Structure 1
């Protein structure tokens, strides 16, 4: 199955949740805003949202600094 993640085509397994995608990318869910098909996803849904073939995922990381 293929998705587009931050503009890059990526192959994922069926039944991949948004949470497992973040884990595979070594991103902390509490430090990311996720958008799937132009819809911002509530962090409470990361564990249950199953990604579908062709989904477009945008992940925006929080960066601290001063």
Structure 2
């Protein structure tokens, strides 16, 4: 949902009132993704996938925080 709102352009995103729904949807989505990542099966690909996914989650949370400021 957040990506769909962001795809409408900067003018649409900046005009949202009373809150920035696009970044809130992104933030809620990645926070709900954290338990899913922890439950990945313990296989060789998980040794690469889990850290990369957690880095991506951290980056999206950081982007949302910077955009909120």
The TM-score, its normalising length taken from structure 1, stands at 0.25
Q: Which structure ranks higher in relative contact order (CA pairs < 8 Å, sequence separation ≥ 6)?
A: 1
More helix by share: 2
More strand by share: 1
Greater C-alpha Rg:
2
